[in-house]
Amino acid sequence: MPLDQQTVARVLGVDVPPLPAPIVAVTHDSRAVVPGGAFVAINGFTSRGADFVPQALEKGAALIVAEEPADGAPTAVVPSDRVALAALATELAGHPSHDLTVYGITGTNGKTTSSYVLHAILSAAYGEQATGLMTTAEIIVGSEHEAAIRTTGEATQVQANLARMRDAGVQHVVLETSSHGIHLHRVDGTRYAAALFTNLTRDHLDLHGTMEDYYLTKRRLFEWTAGPKLANVDDDWGRRLVGEIEGSLGFGTADDAAYRISGERTEGTSTVFELDTPGHGRLTLTIPLLGDYNVHNVAGAAGIALEMGMPPETLVSAVREMAQVPGRFERVPAAVDRGFEVVVDYAHTDVGLRLVLEVAREVAAGGRLICVYGAAGARDAAKRPKMGAVASELADSAIVTTDDAYHEDPQQIADEVFAGADPANTQVVLDRRAAIAAALAEARPGDVVVVAGKGHERVQHLPTGDVPFHDVTVVTELLQA
């Protein structure tokens, strides 16, 4: 609903200049301004929103919102540009989270997988049309799927997607909530009904500086959530969270976990485990996913579902029937004819890489394990040599290649990765397609090739520009060629 001057002033908590007409839209991007809309000029990491005010005015902006007055433009001066953006976006969208049940999932690793698992459980219980999902991989509204750009979009996108879901009749929404999302106020104005914390390991220190700050940022999701809150108590930070936030429960293998995992075993391509629950006794869950970490991902999602009142029978059948998660230990069908396995996985930290290679080693049984991987540019560089060390330790043959280099030199990144690797089993092939081709050429029946780092992604960000690249598609093309 358009916002008149009085409403804008109330929402922002500051004086607002007279408006020619109620504000119809809000954006932080001058290129996306519509006539009669508000432009929030954000002081960014790389540029100043203030520099784009003339463009916003040219496009018909009726109001500028900024931390500093903009010369010659009607400006509402606010204490925080990003807080203001979220407040206006939420008001314009009509506070959609108040009409929805929103499940927030945070943590360093496992957010996307846990989100898909919870979405699958909710879809089984309430029907596909009643559920929605916002993750790194996709945005799902009922039966419509679209590729996502980021884990947690800007507040304008979050609120617009929630509104879209509400208007389409969706009732239950799983919202993957990154620490960037929390820190940069992208989820302000979202009311969470339940929250899940998967774990915390070193990542994103370029934004947070310290692990303590990273933790405190994620903790805010639990502070905001009145309903059920579950954290992984096998993780020290998760344990701390349960201790600090009243009403939160633990899940994991630890004896004191409210939702306790035990008896994990692999049966073919499935994993079976027991989940002791506070309200429904012991459940046996069979999941089409491999690896300890996926047992944790399912246990957390299952705990949240049960805490929210899901019948246990629905949960048990939902996780058994759930589909593969895009780009998470995704097996490429075209490889099966050749007698080996190619697995595409989103692991992009040393911790993630270790986990996926350990599972792949089990799948390989007596075969060789070949790993193609790289590290992203413009992100925490300290993990690069660690990834090199992990790949050399766990794979028989490792090929360092280019991930998303962004503005960084791919050779420089590869050198930093290689510095931690064992040269005896590691080579560098910078071109990602050529690296994958080299790995496939090496593979023999019984081997497992892991292509790590990009998972579901369909674009590679290079210093020379963005190019289409989807690991599963490239592997399939190379195998069919």
Ligand X SMILES: Nc1ncnc2c1ncn2[C@@H]1O[C@H](COP(=O)(O)OP(=O)(O)OP(=O)(O)O)[C@@H](O)[C@H]1O
Ligand Y SMILES: CC(=O)N[C@H]1[C@@H](OP(=O)(O)OP(=O)(O)OC[C@H]2O[C@@H](n3ccc(=O)[nH]c3=O)[C@H](O)[C@@H]2O)O[C@H](CO)[C@@H](O)[C@@H]1O[C@H](C)C(=O)N[C@@H](C)C(=O)N[C@H](CCC(=O)O)C(=O)O
* Residues in touch with ligand Y (CB under 6 A): 28-31, 42, 44-47, 49, 52, 150-152, 154, 178, 180-181, 184
Question: Is 218 annotated to bind ligand?
Answer: no
Where is 369: in which H helix or E strand? strand 369-373
By CB under 6 A, tell whether 394 contacts ligand X.
no
Q: How far is the CB of 284 from ligand X (least distance, A)?
A: 21
Bridge pairing between strands 270-277 and 281-287: antiparallel
Q: Is 418 helix (H, G, I), strand (E, B) or coil?
A: helix
B/e letters for 110-120, b = 16+ CB within 10 Å, e = fewer, are bbbbbbbbbbb
Residue with the two structure tokens 């992100």: 379
Q: How far is the CB of 138 from ligand X (least distance, A)?
A: 12
What residue number has its CB nearest to ligand Y?
Answer: 44
Phi, psi of 282 (to 5 degrees): -95, 125
Phi, psi of 273 (to 5 degrees): -155, 165
By CB under 6 A, tell whether 345 contacts ligand X.
yes
Q: In the window 90-109, what residues touch ligand X (CB under 6 A)?
A: 107, 109
Nearer to ligand Y, 62 or 428 (CB): 62
Number of residues that bind ligand X (CB under 6 A): 21
Bridge pairing between strands 369-373 and 341-345: unpaired
Q: Which two tokens stand for residue 399?
A: 């090929």
Question: Is 136 annotated to bind ligand?
Answer: no
Rg (CA), the chain: 23
**Binding partner of residue 104 among ligand X, ligand Y, none, CB under 5 to 8 Å per kind?**
none
Rounded to whole angstroms, the Cα distance separating 223 from 213 reads 15
Question: Is 108 annotated to bind ligand?
Answer: yes
By CB under 6 A, tell whether 112 contacts ligand X.
yes
| Candidate list 28, 208, 218, 328; residue touching ligand X; CB under 6 A | 328
Question: Is 178 annotated to bind ligand?
Answer: yes
Q: How far is the CB of 151 from ligand X (least distance, A)?
A: 5
Nearer to ligand Y, 154 or 307 (CB): 154
Q: How far is the CB of 407 from ligand X (least distance, A)?
A: 20
Cα–Cα nearest to 83, from 4, 204, 187: 187
By CB under 6 A, tell whether 271 contacts ligand X.
no
Q: Which two tokens stand for residue 147?
A: 């590729």
Question: Is 152 annotated to bind ligand?
Answer: yes
The identity of residue 138, as a single letter, is E
Question: Is 151 annotated to bind ligand?
Answer: yes
**Binding partner of residue 154 among ligand Y, ligand X, none, CB under 5 to 8 Å per kind?**
ligand Y
Question: Is 59 annotated to bind ligand?
Answer: no
Residue with the two structure tokens 């190379």: 478
Q: How far is the CB of 324 from ligand X (least distance, A)?
A: 12
Q: Is 404 helix (H, G, I), strand (E, B) or coil?
A: coil
B/e letters for 342-359, b = 16+ CB within 10 Å, e = fewer, are bbbbbbbbbbbbbbbbeb
**Binding partner of residue 52 among ligand Y, ligand X, none, CB under 5 to 8 Å per kind?**
ligand Y
| Candidate list 113, 161, 225, 248; residue touching ligand X; CB under 6 A | 113
By CB under 6 A, tell whether 471 contacts ligand X.
no
Cα–Cα nearest to 32, from 187, 136, 157, 138: 157
Q: How far is the CB of 81 from ligand Y (least distance, A)?
A: 8
Q: How far is the CB of 222 from ligand X (least distance, A)?
A: 17
Where is 362: in which H helix or E strand? helix 350-364
Nearer to ligand X, 73 or 356 (CB): 356
Answer for the pair 455, 345: CB distance below 8 angstroms, yes or no. yes
Q: From the annotation, which residues make up the binding site for ATP?
A: 107-113
Q: From the annotation, which residues make up the binding site?
A: 30, 107-113, 151-152, 178, 186
What residues line the site for ligand X (CB under 6 A)?
A: 107, 109-113, 136, 151, 178, 198-199, 293, 296-297, 328, 345-347, 352, 355-356
